[in-house]
Amino acid sequence: MKRGPFGTALAMAAALMLAACGGGGGGGNSGGTTTTPPPPATTAGAYTLPGTDSLSAADVQQIIAQAVAEAKARDTPGVIAVTDRVGNVLAVYAMAGARPTATIRPGPGGNLDIQGAVVPAAAAAIAKAVTGAYLSSAGQAFSTRTASMIIQQNFPPSPATVGLPSGPLFGVQFSSLPCSDLTARYNAAGGTGALIGPKRSPLGLAADPGGFPLYKNGTLVGGVGVMSDGDYGFDPDVSNIDIDDEENVALAATNGFSAPATITADKVAINGTTLRYSDATTATLKSSPAQAPAFAALPAGAGTLTAVPGYYPGGTVLAGAVYGQETSGVRQASTTEFSVAGGFVLTDGAGNNRYPPRNGTDSEVGAPLTAAEVTAVMEEAFKVMDHARGAIRQPANSVAQMSIAVTDTHGVILGVVRAPDASVFGTDVAVQKARSASFFSGTFTASDLLGDPSTDVQSFVGKVRTFFPDPTALTGKTAFSVRALSNLARPEFPDGQQGAPNGPLSRPISQWSIFSTGLQSALVASNLVQHVAYLGGTSTTDTAPRCTALPDVVAGQNRLQNGLQIFPGGVPIYRGGQLVGGVGVSGDGVDQDDMVAFLGLSNASARVGIGNAAAAMRADQLVVGPPPAQRLLYVNCPFAPFLDTSDQNVCQGK
């Protein structure tokens, strides 16, 4: 593998050559010399730094104009949203005659959670644009059709695949939620910090076709989403090709800003299944995007730039932030902020790291995590990551890129670090995973769930205790990884086995949908309903930056403040037999997420006094379910994961 030092050496050589070629005195210099400064670094450790392209206001206007031309050609007026890479909404354009609302697709067993909810069409369009931007990077381009494929109960979803396990990112749709305490909110006052991300999404991540990422010169710069048909749903059958108006309009919008063909999802295979990127092609378009009238030439009455409360002011097209720069809220860490080359941190737009390593706040554990221990976990996890082979990034054998987060048992974020080009969605998800692993491993799990005002949420305690069976389950006896939780959160247990009962954290398959997954969705349903009412103008009160109605552990803080996550990549942290927090990882394959969290924590234990749960208390010691009984999984690491060694079974015996 050509690793970072090689690229660094080239950059240094180039700088020396430029210095050697520097001219002598002149133009008023008295015998002095001037030296051409070296070019900015393009690599950091194992990683290439992100490009500095961004969406200009003129770019956004072109994207909208191209979408409008295709929508007119199809006679399907819609709402078009454009965001930058970190989720800032740059425009929401509602065409004349567009449906003002969309309905979240009803479920098979009644409208539980958010199924059947009527939402502003603008909210759906924004969610699609955010999804296209957040799931993508310089190494992979994922659309909302891709998202649909990887979050359903069978992978790939199709009537012919009933009995296969669920999608690899099962549950990711309930991330980047409008109630998340990690995601930033639109700042109507502007000024410093106005463009920091990641921004929240009004409906979490979307699976309804019609959302794509946007690129300039190979650099991911944002996303576009289109909502026109009134059905905010998903594609339950990938065995056929759909002619979807929204997807065609969104594809037309990407003309000049399309993803490089070498990195689109249809170049990525997971467990032998090639992902889908788009059923729309240039051949299915009914307009020529390159010939679309300019935005300024759109006739009066064609549509309006529409304000969306909490997201976009309306009336004008905005320019996007430059990802990786301070103003975007995501930038390269200084060596004092993070010692391993390539680390990126979340910032406040004024130079301050939002989540520097800090001491734990949970004094009741006896010896909370220290800032030094948090640093050790993040550093060791990062070192595992920057040797690992990515699962979804192109070209093959690219180094993995993820987000890493550590929390204490109160759910307080103790530190966050990212690889330079890690997909943005993984930042919020890494925190969700750290909190989820810690929450379910604690003595407080059952009491917190029973303290939620929703009887639906409360009922999951009894379901878990019946399932094991153990009347004292969820009281800290077992260390639950997020992979173990994912086993329990599937609508069929074992996962995908047709006719099997549901796991105790899931809805039964007769009620399940991507909009009503079980405990995960029940915990945040009231937050989403409140936010939709705010967006729709029937309430003046937005959801607070705290998901779930679980009881506070301290004033203003519950343990799942940005929601529960149910796909792998998080483990609890112990000091001896005492739970002290969790570490979560997300961004480049669920087995890779597992490995970086688990092995990073194991390696940190050699430096500091914390580590993984003792093997005897891990959830993989539990044998559960109807005959034939199944053993839960704790982690599932890739067999030969590294680019620079032939090491195998790297998690075995840890």
Arithmetic mean of pLDDT, 559-565: 98
- For the 57-305 domain, the top CATH level (class) is alpha beta
Arithmetic mean of pLDDT, 507-519: 97
Instruction: Summarize pLDDT for 404-454 with one digit per residue, the tens.
Output: 999 999 999 999 999 999 999 999 999 999 999 999 999 999 999 999 999
Euclidean distance between the first and the last CA atom of the chain, given in angstroms as a whole number: 27
**Residue 84 is inside which H or E element, if any?**
strand 79-84
Question: Which pLDDT band, with edges at 50, 70 and 90, does 40 fall under?
Answer: low
Arithmetic mean of pLDDT, 36-42: 66
> Residue 647 pLDDT more than 80?
yes
* pLDDT at residue 14, rounded to an integer: 34
Nearest CA to 196 out of 333, 353, 326, 49 is that of 326
Instruction: Summarize pLDDT for 61-114 with one digit per residue, the tens.
Output: 999 999 999 999 999 999 999 999 999 999 999 999 999 999 999 999 889 999
Instruction: Summarize pLDDT for 450-471 with one digit per residue, the tens.
Output: 999 999 999 999 999 999 999 9
Instruction: Summarize pLDDT for 592-637 with one digit per residue, the tens.
Output: 999 999 999 999 999 999 999 999 999 999 998 777 788 999 999 9
Three-state secondary-structure class, residue 58: helix
> Residue 508 pLDDT more than 90?
yes
Write phi, then psi, for 335 (nearest 5 degrees).
Answer: -65, -25
pTM of the prediction? 0.94
Q: How far apart are CA 223 and CA 232, in angstroms?
A: 18
> Residue 39 pLDDT more than 90?
no
Question: Which pLDDT band, with edges at 50, 70 and 90, does 570 fall under?
Answer: very high
* pLDDT at residue 34, rounded to an integer: 44
Computed over every residue of the chain, the mean pLDDT equals: 93
Arithmetic mean of pLDDT, 182-188: 95
Arithmetic mean of pLDDT, 504-523: 97
Arithmetic mean of pLDDT, 238-262: 97
Instruction: Summarize pLDDT for 113-168 with one digit per residue, the tens.
Output: 999 999 999 999 999 999 999 999 999 999 999 999 999 999 999 999 999 999 99
Write phi, then psi, for 533 (nearest 5 degrees).
Answer: -65, -40
Question: Which pLDDT band, with edges at 50, 70 and 90, does 38 fall under?
Answer: low
* pLDDT at residue 445, rounded to an integer: 98
Say which DSSP state 546 is in: -
Does the domain made of 345-441+568-631 have the CATH classification 3.40.50.2300? Answer: no
Burial of 180 (0-12, 13-18, 19+ CB in 10 A): buried
Arithmetic mean of pLDDT, 549-557: 96
Instruction: Summarize pLDDT for 381-415 with one digit per residue, the tens.
Output: 999 999 999 999 999 999 999 999 999 999 999 99
Give the 3-state DSSP-derived string for 149-168, with helices as H, strands as E and coil as C: HHCCCCCCCCHHHECECCCC
Contact in structure between 390 and 588 (CB atoms under 8 Å): yes
* pLDDT at residue 177, rounded to an integer: 98
Arithmetic mean of pLDDT, 353-368: 98
Q: How far is CA 627 from the centre of its chain?
A: 36
> Residue 344 pLDDT more than 90?
yes
* pLDDT at residue 642, rounded to an integer: 97
Q: How far apart are CA 134 and CA 67, in angstroms?
A: 21
Write phi, then psi, for 296 (nearest 5 degrees).
Answer: -65, -20
Q: Which residue would you say has higher pLDDT here, 5 or 258?
A: 258
Q: How far apart are CA 163 and CA 594, in angstroms?
A: 24
Q: How far apart are CA 366 and CA 369, in angstroms?
A: 10
Give the 3-state DSSP-derived string for 588-634, with helices as H, strands as E and coil as C: CCHHHHHHHHHHHHHHHCCCCCCECCCHHHEHHHCEECCCCCEECCC
Domain 57-305 matches domain 345-441+568-631 at the CATH topology level: yes
Q: Where are the domains of the chain?
A: 57-305, 345-441+568-631
Nearest CA to 65 out of 307, 287, 319, 308 is that of 287
Q: Which residues are CB-contacts of 6 (< 8 A; sequence separation ≥ 6)? A: none
> Residue 9 pLDDT more than 60?
no
Instruction: Summarize pLDDT for 484-498 with one digit per residue, the tens.
Output: 999 999 999 999 888
Instruction: Summarize pLDDT for 515-532 with one digit per residue, the tens.
Output: 999 999 999 999 999 999
* pLDDT at residue 12, rounded to an integer: 32
